[in-house]
Each structure stands twice: as C-alpha cells, then as structure tokens.
Structure 1
Amino acid sequence: MAQAAYLHIPFCEQICHYCDFNKVFLKGQPVEEYLQSMAIEMKNTLETHPTTGLNTIFVGGGTPTVLDMKQMELFLKSIHTHLKPVNDAIEYTFEANPGDLSKEKLQLLKDFGVNRLSFGVQTFDDELLKKIGRTHRHKDVLRSIELAKEVGFKNISLDLIYALPGQTIESFYHTLEIAFGLEVNHFSAYSLIIEPKTVFYNLMQKGRLTLPSQENEAEMYELLMDEMEKHGYAQYEISNFSKRGFESQHNLTYWNNDEYYGIGAGAHSYIDGQRVANAGPLKKYMSLIEESGFPYLETHQVSVSEKMEEELFLGLRKTAGISKNKFEKKYGKSIHSIFGHQISEQKDKGLLEETEEMLRLTRVGKLLGNEVFQAFIGVI
C-alpha cells in the first residue's frame, strides 16, 4: 500500500542546460487546466488505490514555485482535499527555485501544511550558474533561505551539483564553505550527468563542452563526503547528507523499494505491485484524464525476480545498506541464496562489505556505485 505521493509541476521560466526532466516553458501554457487535471488524477487514484494515510508528499518539477499565488492556492487546495496532509507528522516538501519565493508565497505554503523546502542551488559560483543556464545568483539563495526561516521553515534542503563544466576542486570547496554557513539541515549533492536531449549533450556532441576529468570528479566526491562529516552531516545515501532526524523520508521510500503514488505529466507510480508511467506531454496527459480519468501510458506488473533485483540496487544506495533479515522475511529466501556469487565478487573487489546483519557499499564502492548495482541486474 502506497504511503508516499510525488506530484509533478512541469513548468519552468528557464530550461537549465543539464535538465532532462519532463518540463515545458511556462509562458502560454494552460496552467489552471493542468492543475484541474491533476486534481482529477489525485481523486481517481486515491479512490482506486486507497491508503491508510500518507507519510510523505513531495512536489517536484519543473519548478513548482513558478505558480502564481492564485494557481498555487488552487493546487494546494486540491492536495488538501484529495491527499489530506492534515497530520503534522507528514513530511510535505516543495521544490523551490531561489528567487521565486516571495514572503507571501512562502506563508501560503506554510499555511497549507508544507513543512520542508528543497532549493535547487547547484553552486554558489555566479559564473558557473550562468554557464549551466540557471537564472538565480548567490545573493538570491541567501535571501530565499532568510525569508523561509522568517516564515518559520525549519526543514530546508539544498541541492548541489559538482563536476560542472570548468569547475575546479577549489571552486567546489568554496561552494561547500558557503553552504555550511547557511545552517540548513539537509544536502543532496550529485555529479553532473550529461543526458540526451539537453543543451549540454548537444554541446558535448560538438566538442564544445569541457568537463572535469574522472579523477577530479572522484576527488570532488571524496571532498564532499569528508567535509559533510566534518560539519556534522551524516551521509545516509550515496548523494544525501543530513543532520540527525532530517533525512528525506520521501526519498527513503524509493530506496527502501516501497510503493508510492505519482501524480502529474510524466510522473511514475509504484502501486499494488505495478510500475505505472504517466503520459509526459501536457496535451496527451490532459486528454487521457478527460477520456478515462487516468493518464497511464505504460503499466508493468513487477515480478518477484525484478523486486529482488530492485531491492539490491536501490537498497545499496543507502549508507546503512540492506538488512539481510528483512530481505529474507520479505521474499522467503536468503539474500545469499539468490545473489551469493555477485556479493562475493563485489566483496573481493573491495566494493561491498558485510556484517552479520547488513550488506553495504564500502567507501570505494560509493565511488563506483553504478558498477556494483549493474552486477545485480539480470541475474535471476
């Protein structure tokens, strides 16, 4: 039974050069009609697949905070009506673009129960921000966090990206220094991945994109891990760090291989053992909602074999790793009876380590996580 919900707002005022998420330019889009379609999807989804209650709601994008006050209120009312986030214990997150949030908009979010903000900062180097297509600047981040704290938000996360074009280790260190001075409770930090159909991909194809070497990228990641630990942020997942008690419960839903609702254009769900993909283009999404009440493009019943593989490559992202007892209780077989050969192989390479209770990545394994995860795919 799903106890988490992701809601997708695909609108952006500016498309970042690295972004391959489902998004469209805001200008001229049927925003209110899209929000009404999302409300119908929420209602129908919860009626068809009821839940005893949600533990997390996460609104992502795109840029959810580009909605104006009227649109934001319409959207928040829909969530309140259909997903019922009335319990203070729910982790209720909005992704935010620094500079988009007025004090009035922040207060509106807070009044409707939003209690966590995730700011897409990426870097504090203004020249790098221009280079990657971001419209905010260093000063906008400082102001947005100041306003959020004034309104009463205590759970704030910052997204950072490293291994950016032309970025040096010194530049990344400087970004971390500034970030730690802001006294937020959570960081997500990812290395840049060049995805097809992005500006950066096209530049790379033309030989016009200069990226740090793999050695420098690895050095930045090691610097990240060391500095986070030094400043009191525990690494609880490959790319996520938090003060105690501020781990992202929504993202842990994915890494624990638990079920969740996905609402909106291009969103994905995992409900009743099925993985479901929504239509991505706005017109297609809205027409499917109008025709049938659901925007499903693909539905896949996940086999037991696939579930076990997913348990491995998702669970190993967590620093704590995978509980061998929980795996056996869930699937009726020991983890070694299914993946014993692969586990031994990765341990011999120094990428996995094992205790009586847990199986987890080593520090070197975190650097080569994708190689480890690949070892468990297509085994059964």
Structure 2
Amino acid sequence: MSSPTALYIHIPFCASKCFYCDFNTYSFHKEQADAYLNTLWVEMSMYAPMGASLQTIFIGGGTPSILSPDSLRKMFTNLQENFQIEAGAEVTVECNPGTIDAEKLAIMRDSDVNRLSFGVQAMDDDILQQIGRIHSVNDVLNSYQMARKHNFNNINLDLIFALPEQTLDQWQYSLDKVINLSPDHISVYNLTLEEGTKFYDWWNAGKLVLPDNEIEADMYRLSIDRLTQAGYLHYEISNFAKLGCDVKHNLIYWNNEPYIGLGAGASGYIDGCRYTNVRGIPEYIEQVDQGKKPIMYQERLVGIQEMAETIILGLQKRDGICFDRYQKLFGQPITKEFGQTIDQLAELGLVETSNNHLRLTDQGLMLANYVFTEFL
C-alpha cells in the first residue's frame, strides 16, 4: 500500500460539551492542554521517519481554535519540522464561532492554513442554546466576516438538522441564512443520538422530542434542493461545495486510502491496518512518555471485509465507487462477491450503475445506512 498523503490531528478540548456530542472531548484547562500538546509533538516525531508527503491536513476536535496563539504557532512549527507538506496542500482547521481573533487567523494564514470549517449548527439563538452551543448567531457572522477579511477563501459552515422540536420552517430558515453568506462549502448532518450524551439520556427518560422520520427526510430533501439551486455541487451524502471546493481530505477517507491519525482518540489507516489511539488524555500522555505509540486498537481487514468496506466508503460519494478502480484494487470485478446484493438493491431502487460507477440513487440517499449494512 502507498505511503499516507493525509494527516488528521485531534485537539480534544472545548469550552463546554454540547448536549449531542459524543466526540472524544474534554473541558479546556491550560495546564492539561499544554501537557497534551507537548505529548502531541512527540507523537508527531514517531511518525516522521515514514517520510510521508502530505497533500491534506485536517486539524479537528474538539475545538482547535480554542488554543492560544502561541500553541497554534507551535503546532504548525512542529508539523513543518516532522512532515513534508506539499506545496498547495489542503490544510483545514476546525473552528467554533467566537473562538478566533485576528491574531489566531494571522498565524494560521502565515502557516499555510487555507481552509476553515466553522461549527455553526443553527442560525437561531434559541436553538443554539437548546443544543448546548455557547456561541450566538452574531458570533457566527463576526467570525465568518473576520475570516474573509483575513483572505480565507475556502470556508465551510456545518449545520445540523432534525434537532429537538425543530420544524421544517426553522430548518429552512437556518439553511437559507447560511446560503446567503455564500460560504465555499456547506455540510449538513442529521442529528444522531449517541449513548453517553445528554440528549441520549433525556431521550431515554422521555424528556426529548425529536422530529419524526418523515420530517427528517423532508429536511434532507429540502437541503439538497436549496443547496443545489444555489449552485452547490452535492458531491457527498452530507457535503455540498462550490466548484473546486470539495474537501480533498474527506476523499482520502472515502477512497479508502491511507492516512495518519495523531492525538487522543484519533484513528489512522497505514499499510492496510486501521488503528485507534487511546482516548483518555492521562493514558495518552503516559504511553507516549514511555516511548510507545498510543494505540489502543488495531485491525487489518482482508478479503471480503476489505472489499465491503471499500464499497461502503465509496458510496459516501455521489458519484459512487468506480468499477475499474475496484477491479485494480482487488483483481476481480465487484460483481464476483457482491453481484447478488447489488442486483437486489437495484431492484429496490436504492443503487444504480452510472458512468462505470455504482452509486446511490436519490431514494438510496434516504436509506443509505440500510444499503451499507447489506454489504456487511
């Protein structure tokens, strides 16, 4: 397998935990964050001998933009010291509205960050408060305008639909407000209840009212209609981009290509082996201090498992998975192991063949998780 061309870095700190979030995150405390970052620099050095030439870097969380200007500067310095970063590489930093300022943006620009992703989630202050977000709509507008003034010309805004008691009109309002800002990329995700979150506990206790499945589907259809009408290309299940602004880093994942994952709870895929780092910050620091890569779990998928995963990941893209690429990867046509499954899903109107690709139909988009399980 080829050397990784992508890197993910996890910054697991937030000002507070949102009610729906099950990501590996912790409340920000400067001393703990400094110890974590010093350990992260060491973990970077463990992967430096690979000689990876990086085409994409994604710094996610958590809230990377919560870090101090000095910490951000050190992070980019360590990246440049440990990895070869190709000219024009896509470098993304996740930000929360209200956590950036002119100094942080200048450091990012000077460090060749060329893409920002803001976790907006809704353009309604009441809804933001109900889901545990600490920013306001005004924070969104100020942060977005500040980023534009600092010449960031590739900005993503995230939104979540099917939030508690959210109506179709409320979703359309948030969607249209974001479209009017004209970001370069928009991601829309339906709310999923995850065990261990406040929302899950409230729902389990009968204290959380969610839109029904029909309204949720209507919200997704509305997203597709409004965004494509506004000139955004629907290139992944949840992602829409202006021309040339599709996320190269995500395509590494969906094409099942290798990438490095660094930080507590981060995952990577190297030499055909998937791995996940330990989640706890003390455990992460302890293992790295002992000179060990902080890997909690690793698995090598082979044979039909690897084939199925390649199909499922490829179907995340609207153009689907290329038959020729699959044949080159596995030395056999996709129909050899999955012909019957594909035929059955096609009869149900959930997948189709188009331009030598297997892709989800419009109906298949609504039932994507069902389609994926059929390949397992």
With normalisation by structure 2, the TM-score equals 0.98
Is residue 292 of structure 1 aligned with residue 291 of structure 2?
Answer: yes
Who is 1:36 aligned against? Answer: 38
Who is 1:245 aligned against? Answer: 244
Q: Using the alignment, how far apart are the partners of 1:345 and 1:374 within structure 2?
A: 13
Once the two structures are overlaid, the 10-residue window that deviates more, 334-343 or 348-357, is: 348-357
Is residue 228 of structure 1 aligned with residue 230 of structure 2?
Answer: no
Contact 1:229-1:235 at 8 Å conserved across structures: yes
Contact 1:40-1:293 at 8 Å conserved across structures: no
User: Relative to 1, partners in 2 of residues 1:35 and 1:243: Cα closer, same or farther, differing over 3 Å?
Assistant: same
Instruction: Tell me by how many angstroms 1:86 deviates.
Output: 5.7
Q: Using the alignment, how far apart are the partners of 2:320 and 2:288 within structure 1?
A: 39
Q: Using the alignment, how far apart are the partners of 2:137 and 2:84 within structure 1?
A: 36
Instruction: Tell me by how many angstroms 1:329 deviates.
Output: 1.1
Structure 1 counterpart SS, 2:181: coil
User: Relative to 1, partners in 2 of residues 1:296 and 1:228: Cα closer, same or farther, differing over 3 Å?
Assistant: same
Contact 2:261-2:268 at 8 Å conserved across structures: yes
Contact 1:352-1:362 at 8 Å conserved across structures: yes
Instruction: Tell me by how many angstroms 1:28 deviates.
Output: 5.7
Cα-to-partner distance string for 1:8-27 (whole Å, 9 max, x where unaligned): 00011110000000011113
Who is 2:69 aligned against? Answer: 69
Q: Using the alignment, how far apart are the partners of 1:356 and 1:192 within structure 2?
A: 33
Once the two structures are overlaid, the 10-residue window that deviates more, 64-73 or 342-351, is: 64-73
Instruction: Tell me by how many angstroms 1:5 deviates.
Output: 0.3
Structure 2 counterpart SS, 1:161: strand
Contact 1:7-1:264 at 8 Å conserved across structures: yes
Who is 1:209 aligned against? Answer: 208
Structure 2 counterpart SS, 1:158: strand
Who is 2:51 aligned against? Answer: 50
Contact 1:80-1:86 at 8 Å conserved across structures: no
Q: Using the alignment, how far apart are the partners of 1:226 and 1:298 within structure 2?
A: 41
Cα-to-partner distance string for 1:155-206 (whole Å, 9 max, x where unaligned): 0001100000011100111111111111111011100000000010010111
Q: Using the alignment, how far apart are the partners of 1:372 and 1:265 within structure 2?
A: 32
Contact 2:13-2:26 at 8 Å conserved across structures: yes
- What does 1:90-109 correspond to in 2, within 5 Å? 90-109=89-108
Is residue 15 of structure 1 aligned with residue 17 of structure 2?
Answer: yes
RMSD: 1.0
Q: Using the alignment, how far apart are the partners of 2:195 and 2:155 within structure 1?
A: 31
Who is 1:344 aligned against? Answer: 343
Contact 1:86-1:113 at 8 Å conserved across structures: no
Who is 1:276 aligned against? Answer: 275
Instruction: Tell me by how many angstroms 1:79 deviates.
Output: 1.4
User: Relative to 1, partners in 2 of residues 1:124 and 1:265: Cα closer, same or farther, differing over 3 Å?
Assistant: same
Q: Using the alignment, how far apart are the partners of 1:199 and 1:150 within structure 2?
A: 37
The code of the aligned residue for 1:101 comes to I
Contact 2:64-2:95 at 8 Å conserved across structures: yes
Q: Using the alignment, how far apart are the partners of 2:175 and 2:181 within structure 1?
A: 10
The code of the aligned residue for 1:294 comes to K
Structure 1 counterpart SS, 2:156: strand
Structure 2 counterpart SS, 1:209: coil
Contact 1:80-1:112 at 8 Å conserved across structures: no
Structure 1, gaps ≥5 residues long: none
Instruction: Tell me by how many angstroms 1:294 deviates.
Output: 1.0
The code of the aligned residue for 1:350 comes to G
Cα-to-partner distance string for 1:7-51 (whole Å, 9 max, x where unaligned): 00001111000000001111365212211111111111131x332
Who is 2:310 aligned against? Answer: 311
Who is 1:85 aligned against? Answer: 85
Instruction: Tell me by how many angstroms 1:140 deviates.
Output: 0.6
Contact 2:161-2:190 at 8 Å conserved across structures: yes
- What does 1:362-377 correspond to in 2, within 5 Å? 362-377=361-376
User: Relative to 1, partners in 2 of residues 1:264 and 1:227: Cα closer, same or farther, differing over 3 Å?
Assistant: same
User: Relative to 1, partners in 2 of residues 1:29 and 1:10: Cα closer, same or farther, differing over 3 Å?
Assistant: farther
The code of the aligned residue for 1:50 comes to G
Contact 2:158-2:186 at 8 Å conserved across structures: yes
Who is 1:131 aligned against? Answer: 130
Q: Using the alignment, how far apart are the partners of 2:339 and 2:60 within structure 1?
A: 38
Who is 1:115 aligned against? Answer: 114
Instruction: Tell me by how many angstroms 1:73 deviates.
Output: 1.6
The code of the aligned residue for 1:248 comes to V
Cα-to-partner distance string for 1:58-115 (whole Å, 9 max, x where unaligned): 000010011111222222211121124362x100000000010001111111111110
With normalisation by structure 1, the TM-score equals 0.97
Who is 1:147 aligned against? Answer: 146
Who is 1:258 aligned against? Answer: 257
Structure 2, gaps ≥5 residues long: none
Instruction: Tell me by how many angstroms 1:305 deviates.
Output: 2.1
Q: Using the alignment, how far apart are the partners of 2:294 and 2:47 within structure 1?
A: 10
Q: Using the alignment, how far apart are the partners of 2:319 and 2:209 within structure 1?
A: 35
Percent identity over the alignment?
A: 40
Q: Using the alignment, how far apart are the partners of 1:356 and 1:234 within structure 2?
A: 18
Contact 1:324-1:334 at 8 Å conserved across structures: yes
